[in-house]
Amino acid sequence: MNFRFAHNNLNVYDLDKSLAFYKEALGLTEHRRNEAADGRFIIVYLSDGTSDHKLELTWLRDWADPYNLGDNEIHLAFATDDYEAAHAKHKEMGCICYENMDMGLYFISDPDGYWLEIMPQR
């Protein structure tokens, strides 16, 4: 029996804001979308264009408040082939929330407060 990653899900409060952030910050683009006939949810799968793994963003119509992420110790990680350019872009965007120079990585925060680790390809 074998398993492979298919996708990770993040629930988002403002889908348009999140889609714009993920496109600008990480170059992720919409792969496919699933909308409930009654409008109660929209699910958008984002792709990096190179791997089979997708990021699923779920928007729920009846969710009234921003998500409480608790201690926010869960994160997704992205490797980049140009760490310095990525860092400069994220610094310009103002979304860097934590840097660990000793480990050679940093984190950015999306519009809902989810942390995304950025590291050089190794």
The CATH number of whichever domain residue 56 belongs to comes to: 3.10.180.10
Cβ 87 vs Cβ 106: under 8 Å: yes
Domain assignment of residue 2, yes or no: no
Place of tokens 């590291």: 119
Q: Note the pTM of the prediction, 2 decimals.
A: 0.92
Domain assignment of residue 113, yes or no: yes
**What confidence tens digit (pLDDT) does each residue in 45-92 have?**
999 999 999 999 999 999 999 888 887 778 999 999 999 999 999 999
Number of domains into which the chain is organized: 1
Domain assignment of residue 67, yes or no: no
Domain that holds residue 42: 7-62+75-120
Domain assignment of residue 36, yes or no: yes
Instruction: Band the pLDDT of 3: cuts 50, 70, 90.
Output: confident
